[in-house]
């Protein structure tokens, strides 16, 4: 091969976007434990969109996604063990438990497989973690309510999916927020599973037995269900913290337009799955990546509601998707 031909081939490679050819033959799999709400569906859609483009560009060979039928750590552990047998180069994990998958994750690491957890992270030291400061997200809800209600008041707390790191950390943040603002009191705690229908049923079940509340602190996917439960019970609607779902934002806008209803909305962007993908790709490409990476959560205030609703698809979630350059910036910031 002549030197001129070699240079021409390198130029074509660079222009085609496949300059990252060190990972062109690498395979990445997504292990997801749950897809039963709009956030998880948007997360999977973002993964398919961004990884599909990366495969087409020749950045990686494949980026398959798998979701377990039930939210069971044992089933997800078996799924990861199967991925090990299939010979994937990297596994990106949204975990059912911070600890129950550690054995399977360690098996993957011992087999030379890169493991990157996100959203629902794992604590196994060999894995990487891409996470939001969920404690801060929970505590921030109390900071907001303290500004709205300086005299404090009763609160209802809606929990997420039991056993996950996300649920535990947001709950801990809310508890810390209550400790920092002791005029507030959690008078009831229900499980919402990050799902509108479950949250509505759970809230409806406790409303007859709890006093008036000034606010509802949440984890995402539960705000609209809570609003429906209060309405059906003929109770005054408190300030419900929303979780960036389109049905929540649409309800919020309708109430704002009607009588000036005020609240805020906060959640992790579903597109964090794409950041985890690019982190895995960077590790496979030989880059030095810190084990723990933190990404900001996505907040919507009263002033930003209309614009956010316009860009959020019906049935979807307000979202941000990440590029390889975004991943490089997050990695650099963590060094």
**299-312 tens-digit pLDDT:** 999 999 999 999 99
Q: Which domain holds residue 71?
A: 16-132+269-295+320-334
Do 55 and 118 fall within a single domain? Answer: yes
List phi, psi (to 5°) of 314.
-60, 130
Q: Which residue has the higher pLDDT, 37 or 65?
A: 65
Is residue 36 pLDDT above 70, yes or no?
yes
Do 162 and 126 fall within a single domain? Answer: no
Residue range 267-281, pLDDT digits in tens: 999 999 999 999 999
Do 92 and 153 fall within a single domain? Answer: no
Is residue 10 pLDDT above 70, yes or no?
no
Residue range 171-197, pLDDT digits in tens: 999 999 999 999 999 999 999 999 999
Q: Which of 247, 267, 287 is the last residue of a domain?
A: 267
Do 149 and 202 fall within a single domain? Answer: yes
> What is the pLDDT confidence band of residue 238, given thresholds at 50, 70 and 90?
very high
Residue range 66-106, pLDDT digits in tens: 999 888 999 999 999 999 999 999 999 999 999 999 999 99
Q: Which of 249, 267, 285 is the last residue of a domain?
A: 267
Placement of tokens 């030379």 in the chain: 112
Do 182 and 232 fall within a single domain? Answer: yes
% of residues, the chain, pLDDT over 90: 89
Global pTM reads 0.86
Cβ within 8 Å of residue 15, ≥6 positions away: none
Identify the DSSP state of 123.
Answer: -
CB atoms within 10 A of CB 260: 8
Do 93 and 151 fall within a single domain? Answer: no
Per-residue tokens: 104: 């399977």
Assess if residue 311 is contained within a domain: no
Assess if residue 200 is contained within a domain: yes
Assess if residue 28 is contained within a domain: yes
Do 198 and 219 fall within a single domain? Answer: yes
C-beta separation of 31 from 93 below 8 A: yes
* CA dist., res. 4 & res. 15, Å (int): 17
Q: Which of 252, 267, 282 is the last residue of a domain?
A: 267
Do 20 and 121 fall within a single domain? Answer: yes
Cβ within 8 Å of residue 199, ≥6 positions away: 158, 190, 192, 193, 218, 221, 222, 223, 225, 226, 229
Do 220 and 280 fall within a single domain? Answer: no
Do 22 and 112 fall within a single domain? Answer: yes
CB atoms within 10 A of CB 247: 21
Q: What does pLDDT average to over the chain?
A: 93
> What is the pLDDT confidence band of residue 21, given thresholds at 50, 70 and 90?
low
263: CATH: 3.40.50.2300
Residue range 104-160, pLDDT digits in tens: 999 999 999 999 999 999 999 999 999 989 999 999 999 999 999 999 999 999 999
C-beta separation of 225 from 164 below 8 A: no
DSSP codes joined into one string, 5-41? HHHHHHHHHHHTT---GGGTT-EEEEEES---SHHHH
CB atoms within 10 A of CB 320: 16
Placement of tokens 């906060």 in the chain: 266
């Amino acid at each position: 091969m002549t030197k001129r031909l070699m240079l021409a081939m390198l130029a074509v490679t660079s222009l085609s976007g496949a300059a990252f050819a060190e990972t062109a033959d690498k395979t990445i799999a997504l292990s997801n434990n749950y897809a039963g709400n709009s956030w998880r569906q948007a997360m999977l859609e973002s993964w398919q969109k961004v990884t599909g483009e990366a495969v087409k560009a020749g950045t990686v060979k494949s980026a398959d996604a798998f979701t377990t039928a039930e939210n069971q750590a044992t089933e997800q552990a078996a799924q990861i063990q199967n991925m090990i047998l299939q010979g994937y180069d990297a596994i990106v994990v949204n975990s059912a438990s911070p600890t129950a998958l550690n054995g399977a994750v360690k098996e993957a690491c011992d087999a030379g497989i890169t493991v990157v957890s996100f959203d629902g992270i794992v604590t196994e030291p060999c894995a990487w973690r891409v996470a939001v400061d969920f404690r801060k997200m929970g505590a921030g809800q109390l900071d907001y309510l303290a500004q709205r209600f300086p005299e404090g008041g009763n609160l209802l707390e809606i929990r997420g999916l039991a056993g996950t790191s996300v649920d535990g950390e947001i709950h801990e943040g809310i508890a810390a927020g209550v400790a920092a603002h002791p005029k507030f009191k959690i008078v009831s705690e229900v499980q919402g599973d990050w799902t509108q229908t479950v949250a509505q049923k759970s809230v409806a079940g406790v409303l007859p037995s709890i006093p008036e509340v000034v606010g509802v602190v949440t984890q995402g996917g539960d705000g609209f269900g809570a609003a429906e439960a209060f309405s059906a019970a003929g109770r005054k609607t408190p300030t419900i913290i929303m979780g960036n779902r389109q049905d929540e934002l649409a309800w919020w806008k309708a109430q704002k337009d009607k009588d000036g209803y005020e609240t805020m909305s906060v959640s992790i962007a579903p597109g964090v799955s794409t950041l985890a993908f690019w982190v895995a790709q960077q590790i496979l490409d030989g880059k030095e990546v810190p084990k723990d990476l933190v990404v900001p959560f996505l907040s919507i205030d009263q002033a930003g509601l209309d614009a956010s609703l316009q860009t959020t698809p019906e049935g979807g979630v307000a979202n941000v998707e990440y590029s390889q350059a975004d991943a490089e910036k997050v990695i650099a910031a963590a060094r």
